[in-house]
Amino acid sequence: MSRPEILGRLRQHDVLPTPQRIEVAELLLKKPQHLSADQILDQLRGNGSRISKATVYNTLNLFSEQGLVRQLNVDPSRKFYDSTTHVHHHFYHVDTGELSDIPEHQVGLMKMPSLPAGTVQESLEILIKVRNK
Amino acid sequence: MSRPEILGRLRQHDVLPTPQRIEVAELLLKKPQHLSADQILDQLRGNGSRISKATVYNTLNLFSEQGLVRQLNVDPSRKFYDSTTHVHHHFYHVDTGELSDIPEHQVGLMKMPSLPAGTVQESLEILIKVRNK
DNA sequence: TTCTATGCAAAGACTTTGCATGCTG
DNA sequence: CAGCATGCAAAGTCTTTGCATAGAA
């Protein structure tokens, strides 16, 4: 994903592009993946960046609010950020903590439940936990 | 749920019944619900119990390991413990943080994805996030 | 007695916040 | 200049752990 593409994505989501936000976006958006704030910080630092921890957290919160990435609550100990925002589902490998995508066409719902009164649906996620055979 | 029933449930799951474990089980198992460790501590303390925070956490971890309750990772800030262990799914109200059960017959899966190589399925959970209309 | 559970406080992991500094429009 | 972003450290949550005491088998 090229620099101009990154800038475009940020602007589409009303995120002012700053050097740090561009760094985070370049890393996270370059492929479908699931990374925690700390993993992102480590990788950026490993690449020589001097971005601060607070900025990584702030940036990821901003990206999530603006719909640029999706926050996943699966691992009880930390949040993961998903670079793929269109509807899809996940495998969670409980032995390794790894998350992976379930190809969209591989699951399908037969019927939808009626929602609690006075509410509208925000999302629907399927999580399949797996472990080593 | 009567005292002898509670004791039976604990023994069925190889949990030695102690006064504190019985307290926690009586509170959590009395109806289908989703409570966090802190909510349980507060309620027990409110009822005059002097159980410690560590014991509540230890007990809930033990109950989960033994399959007596189910741990839910939905709210990024805390774990919830579900007194209903059979397969069922959840609504999560993002405005209030409330969790509720989706009646089992109200959802159905059309097809199951193939699992990652070398893994077996541990569970499948559907989470529907809703917000106020 | 021997093993396990409990309670307390301290430690730990992850995340957020306050505030001064620095950049951007 | 005004407003927002950044960095650092401190503070905050939730949870786990170490260790001494207490209880159960």
Contact B110 A108 (CB under 8 A): yes
Evaluated on CA atoms B43, B48, B49, B53, the torsion sign reads positive
pLDDT at A87: 87
Please give the nucleotide, over all strands, whose C1' is closest to the CA of residue A57: C15
* Residue A53 beta carbon within 7 A of nucleic strand D: yes
Choice between A3 and B111, residue whose per-residue pLDDT is larger: A3
Asked if B125 CB < 7 A from strand D, the reply is no
Q: What percent of chain B has pLDDT over 90?
A: 84
3-state secondary structure of A96: coil
| pLDDT for res A24 | 97
Query: What Å distances lie between residue B130 and A32, A125, A132, B81, CA to CA?
Result: 26, 12, 33, 20
CB contact under 8 A, B113 and A103: yes
The string of pLDDT tens digits covering residues A37-93 is 999 999 999 999 999 999 999 999 999 999 999 999 999 999 999 999 998 999 999
pTM score, two decimals?
0.93
Contact B110 A107 (CB under 8 A): yes
Using a 10 angstrom Cβ sphere, with 0-12 exposed, 13-18 middle and 19 or more buried, the burial of residue A54 is exposed
Q: What percent of chain A has pLDDT over 70?
A: 100
Rounded to whole angstroms, the Cα distance separating A53 from A41 reads: 7
Considering only CB atoms, which chain A residues are within 8 Å of B126? 124-127
**For residues A72 and A37, is the Cβ–Cβ distance under 8 A?**
no
**pLDDT for res B57:** 98
Q: Which nucleotide is nearest to B18 (CA to C1')?
A: C5
Among B91, B107, B124, whose Cβ lies nearest the Cβ of A116? B91
Q: Do A116 and B129 touch (CB under 8 A)?
A: no
CB-based contacts of A32, cutoff 8 Å, min separation 6: A82, A83, A84, A101
Please write the tens of the pLDDT for every residue from B38-86: 999 999 999 999 999 999 999 999 999 999 999 999 998 999 999 999 9
Per-residue confidence (pLDDT) for residue B5, from 0 to 100: 94
Average pLDDT over residues B99-114: 86
Place of tokens 């926050």: A71
Q: Is pLDDT at A110 greater than 80 in this prediction?
A: no
- Shortest Cα distance from A4 to chain B (angstroms)? 33
Report H helices in B17-131: 19-29, 37-46, 53-65
pLDDT at position B110 over 80: no
Distance A123 CA to D3 C1' (A): 34
Shortest Cα–Cα distance, B117 to chain A (Å): 9
Asked if A106 and B107 come within 8 Å (Cβ–Cβ), the reply is no
A25–chain B nearest CA distance, Å? 22
The gap between B58 CA and C6 C1' (Å) is 10
